[in-house]
Amino acid sequence: MEFLDAMQHRFACKRYDENREVSEAQLKMILEYGRLTPTSFGLELWSFHVVRSAEKKKALFHACFDQESVATSAFTVAVMARKPHLPILMEIWCIAEGSVFLTPP
């Protein structure tokens, strides 16, 4: 399948089979795909957090605008930005946009 075909026929699952489990090997493969996602200059400014507990998924469900897929999934991967790099990103963005970047005191 060509990439364009895959993008034109993608499917966003809204509800998962709560009884279906995902193997550790499958989870590791999914996380590896995320880790290998290319970024400019190799700045991987994120970290991945796997959420499996029903209690934490319920909290994420509400934080994610009550999306049923979060509550019914075997796990949810939360992608977190690494905050120490945010000033650098803002500076790069402002340079690209021709804006002035002021570092907070």
The series of mean pLDDT values per 10 residues for the chain, 105 residues long, is 84 89 93 84 77 89 90 89 64 58 47
Query: What span, in angstroms and rounded, lies between the C-alpha atoms of 29 and 35?
Result: 10
Domain annotation covers residue 73: yes
- Nearest one of 83, 102, 75, 101 to 45, comparing CA atoms: 83
Domain annotation covers residue 90: yes
Query: What span, in angstroms and rounded, lies between the C-alpha atoms of 47 and 17?
Result: 27
- Grouping H, G, I as helix, E, B as strand and the rest as coil, residue 23 is coil
Domain annotation covers residue 102: no
CATH code for the domain of 29: 3.40.109.10
In the chain, the number of structural domains is 1
Q: What is the pLDDT of residue 2?
A: 85
DSSP codes joined into one string, 72-92: HSS-EEEEEE-GGGHHHHHHH
Structural domain for 77, as ranges: 3-97
Q: What is the pLDDT of residue 24?
A: 93
Ramachandran angles phi, psi of 41, nearest 5°: 60, 15
Domain annotation covers residue 105: no
Say which DSSP state 47 is in. E
